[in-house]
A and B are shown apart, each in its own frame.
Chain A
Amino acid sequence: MRRLFADRLVFATAVIVILGSILFALLRVAG
């Protein structure tokens, strides 16, 4: 169960990093 929590953290981190990268690219293209 604790490893499930760690897996969720990994998933959340991946989503945040990918969203951050999309935001970075959008800011660059728009800017």
Chain B
Amino acid sequence: MRLRYAVRGAIWIAFYLLFILAPLFALLAGTWPPARDFWTEFAVALGYSGLAMMGLQVGLTARFRYVTEPWGEDVIYHFHRQISLIAVGLIVTHAVILTAGRPEMLAPLNVLEAPWSARFAIVSIVALIGLVVAALWRLRLKIGYEAWHLSHIVLAVVAIAAGIAHMVGSGVYLVDPQKRALWIGLTIFWIGLLLYVRIVKPLFMLRRPYRVSEVRRERGDTTTLVMRADGHPGFRFRPGQFGWLTVWGSPFKITGHPFSFSSSAAVTDGRVEMSIRNLGDFTSETHKVPVGQRVYLDGPYGAFTIGNPADMHVLIAGGIGVTPMMSMIRTLADRGDERPVNLFYGSRDWESITFREELEALKARLNLTIVHVLANPPVGWTGEQGFITAEMFKRHLPPPYADHEYFICGPDVMMDAIEKALGELNVPLSKYHSERYSFV
């Protein structure tokens, strides 16, 4: 599976670069307009490349399972964020180089009198800067997630549309009808990606609704929603995967939220469960969801899943990061798997350990060892406390450590510390899997 993912990953990287650079170099085909100086041509190339990168941004977050599987959705979103800074940087550099030689273009009077193509350029750059500022400082600017998401889409469409208009209006290369057709075709492709995400996919989800059949309160201010496929067979998922859940409203609603499936993947009756902790935002409403409520699930997604050959599964969870682990443990128990499973489970205190009793019960069906690590242990606690460390792994796991398969899910700070600890134990990158649940 790993090799297959590596090959697929390499193919998609090649495709990505091809979609950015091929339209640029296609401008060199056929007849050329008169050459200008190096810096002008370099700036023009940066503009074309930057715009192609911006257009492809929609594709990165379009949740194409076949594309995202080799890396995992969290890594794809991280790439989406970082590469957008590069794309905006290229476009701004394009504008700076072109205007550096013509300072008169910066005078406000001339901006107002500038040709339409230049005005489109200004609109595009202002929208891009707004996009970046809102994305980087959303929390500091106190912008709600839904409002931000909507503005993110609107600003991106404005930036790209204005960029295209600027390119067609001022690009000497696009005078050639074939080259213009190529770039307009590319734009239609980007628009198609957006329509797929916002129209086609929700339409598909609308025909495959789910109904909440049970709402279960769990320890740690967590609520489990049990959902059943309504009028269709549902989907099969692999333990550790997640889906995008829309509870209130239609699938056309701008925002669904990603949650791991916590139920066993061995269940085949169209039932899935998600366990959601109250984090003070929209998740505080979960326990109010009535039984019978129609909900929509987009999934399954994610590469954070068991399946590789392993002598032992080591599951490391922090807080509500236990949900994908719970799915893995329940699935392994249902499958009658006899390999040892070690769960390192970090919680705030003894009372807030979600699934505590069920995990104890699962020990009877599985070779399961649980190491609870408490931030605020009760008086007389003799177990582990504080943060999960490399020393803790040495105390509870048999060497050689590199032979086990590690799965980590929790808050970013914990994930960084665990990845460092595993590095200290010489566990190769290929032996551990992680999923950051704070990726959106």
Taking a contact as CB atoms under 8 Å apart, the answer to whether A13 and B86 are in contact is yes
A17 to B45, CA, bound (A): 9
Taking a contact as CB atoms under 8 Å apart, the answer to whether A24 and B79 are in contact is no
**A12 vs chain B, min Cβ distance (A):** 9
Stretch from B24-32, B118-126, B322-330 forming part of the interface with A: B24-32
Q: Is the interface of B mostly helix, strand, loop or mixed?
A: helix
Taking a contact as CB atoms under 8 Å apart, the answer to whether A28 and B28 are in contact is yes
Taking a contact as CB atoms under 8 Å apart, the answer to whether A17 and B75 are in contact is no
Taking a contact as CB atoms under 8 Å apart, the answer to whether A2 and B53 are in contact is no
A2 to B83, CA, bound (A): 16
**A29 vs chain B, min Cβ distance (A):** 5
Q: Is B419 an interface residue (CB 8 A)?
A: yes
A1 to B419, CA, bound (A): 7
Q: For the complex, count residues of B whose C-beta is within 8 A of A.
A: 38
Q: Is B13 an interface residue (CB 8 A)?
A: yes
Residue of B nearest to A21 (CB): B45
A9-B13, A25-B41 are contacts. A17–B20 as well, Cβ < 8 Å? yes
Q: For the complex, count residues of A whose C-beta is within 8 A of B.
A: 23
Q: Is B49 an interface residue (CB 8 A)?
A: yes
Taking a contact as CB atoms under 8 Å apart, the answer to whether B21 and A9 are in contact is no
Select which of B16, B41, B78 is within 8 A of A6 by beta carbon. Answer: B78
A interface residues, Cβ below 8 angstroms from B: 1-3, 5-7, 9-10, 13-14, 16-18, 20-22, 24-29, 31
Task: Show 26 A/B contacts (Cβ-Cβ < 8 Å), sorted by A.
Answer: A1-B423, A1-B434, A2-B74, A3-B75, A5-B75, A9-B13, A13-B83, A14-B83, A14-B86, A17-B20, A17-B49, A20-B21, A20-B24, A20-B25, A20-B45, A21-B24, A21-B45, A21-B46, A24-B41, A24-B42, A24-B45, A25-B39, A25-B42, A28-B35, A28-B41, A29-B41
